[in-house]
A = this chain, B = another copy of it.
């Protein structure tokens, strides 16, 4: 019988059956997650007030407590009690808390709540070719990914994409090297100097110098740079490790600027204007949290620079994973969708994670105050065009200073089984450490509790 059934009839059956699946899956999810539906709905309600920027922070905090009580402590701004204390008690203070890396696992929570909207399905016969778009200068750039990059910048308003080439990279780390390659002269008598104002991203020196290149060479703190001749200045804004908004500091001719804008997103800092620099670097690792994808992108004004960057990536890795580009395209699309005014299904990605960061920084400041041994930077509030209100930066890293006579802050915290990165790696004082704020709730809460108990 089935053999004689026409295909279009089978397809109709299939559609019906798929619809049945979807409804059953949704039902099962809602039933088994015990109220997660209501959480999503309450996120929605809360979202409108955050986007509109009308509610006070205290109001936001109250509504946050309502729907996030399952996985986050009900912590107010003066005492630290709740789940993290329980975790610490269970753990006995023996567990090593590794916050050396900026591993963005905090974002798992949002993506779990979003469910299968960002699920990607790749059949085995897809994406075999090296090439994505031979008509594009960057021939390994997936058109769908490029489209979603442009859209996301338009939604957030954090960068100009018009009249720019997009170059995709295996993370922004590869694009940073591609930029150095593209901006240095192949026939120069000596390598071009690469500088950045201290404290600078700890990996810049080692990445720049790892192959002892004859094209470029790390020349340290931009504020102390006094060598004649051309140079490349890296401007990281907001800055890694300290979170401050930055501009170039070497004010003379012959300089070429590379803007690393990995953290210029509204969960970390106010979006003041669409950035409009010659060469800007971004990465999904710190925007959406998908570090494992290894996807970054550069917005490049000059065609020759974009061509040379593409050439570098061709020589370095013959392009960039198509699977990850396709997955990144889907994730960026959902982020943009979630923040469009018309979205009613899911909480805006940036609003949700802005609140996560807001809460974490409040907890951190309380813990720092309780301990009395540390300090973290104070930031002036700035108006954010995306969220429609002013707020203080809440960076992905805490730039923590050990006060009193503690000179090796990293070592001091290591004794408390908290792993951090010493200020010395950032061209700065070892009285400072960089601490990731992007770990999972459990680890972050354990850290906050342990930090608050370190007293002189």
Contacts and interface: CB of A to CB of B under 8 A. Distances in A.
A112 interface: yes
A54 interface: no
A50 to B, nearest CB: 22
A257 interface: no
A176 to B, nearest CB: 10
Contacts of A5: 27, 31
Q: Interface residues of A toward B: which range?
A: 35 or more
Interface string A104-118: 110110011011111
A210 B315 contact: yes
A455 interface: no
Contacts of A77: none
A150 to B, nearest CB: 21
Interface stretch (A7-15, A40-48, A221-229): A7-15
Contacts of A321: 170, 292-295, 321, 323-324
Contacts of A324: 321-324
A301 interface: no
Interface of A: 2, 5-7, 10-11, 13-14, 17-18, 20-21, 24-25, 27-28, 31-32, 101, 103-105, 107-108, 111-112, 114-125, 127-132, 170-171, 173-174, 177, 181, 203, 206-207, 210-215, 285, 289-295, 312, 315-324, 327, 330-331, 334
Given A103-B130, A129-B292, 7 more contacts: A10-B27, A10-B31, A17-B17, A111-B124, A111-B125, A130-B291, A212-B213
